[in-house]
Structure 1
Amino acid sequence: MINKGTKLFSQILAIGLGASLLPAHAIEGHAGLDLSLANNVGKVGLYSLRETPTEITNLSSNLLFTSNDDRMIDVMGTLTRKGMLSNNNLELGLKAKLYYLDQNSTGRNSYGLMIGGIARYWLPTSVPTSIAADYLYSPNIVTAGDGQSTMEYGFRAELRILPSAIAYVGYRKILADFGLPGSYKVDGNPHVGVTISFDGY
């Protein structure tokens, strides 16, 4: 375990890194806010997205908090390609996340690099609607602190309700392995959320 001073430093470092990277990335795209709520979990994030006819890049910084006072801070990057497998509605991509997880009840912590992928399919509807799924994993070799590995996966349905806003409903599960019998469940709930672009599109 590490002391509280080191925990605080790690959290400040993660937030500072995300805050410093987002404005630079947003010069060529647009930035926005991502909010979601579940029964015992909340998440707030800032994102910066750039889209071209063939790909989408997204950089975000997020804070997840639970009713048990657990905290997970991350800086995440996503690169998605459009029109995959000869299907104009299908997007496939890669994700990477630097994270810090603080399990409040025992004082354990875990931090490292999660890597994985994302898939999104746009339905042939008059209102832009999609379904998406993603998976991230931090193996032992890139996991530090008290943790041995961390896994996250989820899926959601998205609907553009305004030119500058997308509403979504989904399910997210985050499991952390601290070397104890069974994995610690950080999140395992359905949630609702919205992304709002600061630039109005």
Structure 2
Amino acid sequence: MPRWTPLLVGVTALWAASTAQAGSFDLNLGNNAIELNLAAPIAEGIAIGAGVLHSEYREDATMLHGQIMGVERNRRMDIGVGARWTQFNTDYGNGGGLGLGGYGYVYLPNAPAVSVGGYGFFTPSVATSGKLDDSFLAGARMRYDFTPTVDGYVGYRRMTADFDDQRSSRTLDNSVHVGVNLRF
């Protein structure tokens, strides 16, 4: 199977699963990674989402995720907290797990189109399957709202995971990236 097949399958599945309600389409690119995320509200203050990250940081790694989050967005902040299932297909091992985490951004008072913040998810070994023991994802971004429905950003992301039969935690992605988020 070509190494981009999981990414293309994931993108197609995410696009087919997206709803006609207001949601978002987020794409970012780094030197060694590409990530696509889709999200849509299912009720006031609750959103579901799915995404795929393919990284060639050291070895090939593709991570698919689905999540449900409590969300709040206004002129001062953009926050979300919830649960995420992540499925790993890597050269180090395969498996999945349920993690908790979220994101938070604040808009700068003197530059209301600029927001800064970050995100993180932790999956403990008690909530994993397959060869995955645990995983951790963390990132930071600075975003600029070009229009009410389009923002661009620069960010940094680091994803690590422990797999059975590996001596230590493996860094699956460690990258600076640029991206665009479209809200519809």
Per the normalisation by structure 1, the TM-score is 0.74
**Identical aligned residues as a percent:** 23
Contact 1:148 1:178 in 2 (8 A): yes
Deviations 1:97-135 (A, max 9, x none): 1111101x34x1020111113222111145421112222
SS in 1 for 2:126: helix
Structure 2 residue aligned with 1:89: 76
Kindly name which structure, 1 or 2, has the bigger radius of gyration based on alpha carbons: 1
Cα distance 1:164–1:89, how it changes in 2: closer, same or farther (>3 A)?
closer
Structure 2 residue aligned with 1:77: 68
Cα distance 1:182–1:118, how it changes in 2: closer, same or farther (>3 A)?
same
Deviations 1:133-166 (A, max 9, x none): 2221111111111011011111111111123211
Runs of 5+ consecutive residues of structure 2 not aligned to the other structure: none
Q: Which runs of 4+ in 1 moved over 3 A?
A: 18-22, 49-52, 90-93
Contact 1:19 1:61 in 2 (8 A): no
Contact 1:95 1:118 in 2 (8 A): no
CA RMSD, aligned part only?
Answer: 3.1
Counterpart residue identity of residue 85, structure 2: L
In the aligned structure 1, how far is the partner of 2:72 from the partner of 2:160? 28
Runs of 5+ consecutive residues of structure 1 not aligned to the other structure: none
Contact 1:154 1:172 in 2 (8 A): yes
In the aligned structure 2, how far is the partner of 1:19 from the partner of 1:116? 24
Contact 2:162 2:168 in 1 (8 A): yes
Contact 2:97 2:132 in 1 (8 A): no
Deviations 1:5-44 (A, max 9, x none): xxx9xx979x75x567531xx53xx133210011111111
Structure 1 residue aligned with 2:160: 175
1:45 deviates by 2.2
